[in-house]
Amino acid sequence: MNRMCAAIVSLALLSAAPGCVTQARQPKLLNAMIDPGTLYPGQEKALITVEVQDDRHGIIDRIEWRVDGYPEYVFELRDDGAQGDEAAGDGVWSMLVDVPFNTPKGEFTLHLAAYDSEGRPIMVRDPEAGSVPLTTAFTAVVEYASER
């Protein structure tokens, strides 16, 4: 077997070895949501959660969320059992938030992104786009109490 073939075989074996990140085993953000699903400004708190799966190497250090149209506001979810997070280290990152009384009515997209301990975005492989930041998004609805 020539050197080129040996290198290809070695790479193929390494990519299947335990501990190596493959597309099927890379970290994922799943089931992102806000509860309750319809928010009423000034009257309640809401719980934002997202599940982290397949972070076997513990590379996710922080998960931040932002609201479309409001880039100046950045919030950090937790997995330490505090401020709305149910249990430390369970892979469910959460944050309990107030819905400010001056929140405008409408639908808002919340974007969540994962970062490492150096503040760099966690990059994952996407079959169509190549290497992309680990993100997810969902929609929250804000209505006024008088419209209930």
Q: How far apart are CA 137 and CA 107, in angstroms?
A: 13
- Beta-carbon neighbour count of residue 61 at 10 Å? 13
Q: Which domains does the chain have, with CATH numbers?
A: 24-147 (2.60.40.10)
The pLDDT score that the predictor gives to residue 35 is 95
- In angstroms and rounded to an integer, the radius of gyration of the C-alpha atoms of the chain is 20
Q: Is the pTM of this model over 0.85?
A: no
- Beta-carbon neighbour count of residue 37 at 10 Å? 11
Q: Express each pLDDT in 82-122 by its tens digit.
A: 999 999 999 999 999 999 999 899 999 999 999 999 999 99
Which residue numbers in the chain have pLDDT < 50?
Answer: 1-22
The pLDDT score that the predictor gives to residue 10 is 37
The pLDDT score that the predictor gives to residue 44 is 80
Per DSSP, helices labelled H in the chain are 3-16
The pLDDT score that the predictor gives to residue 24 is 61
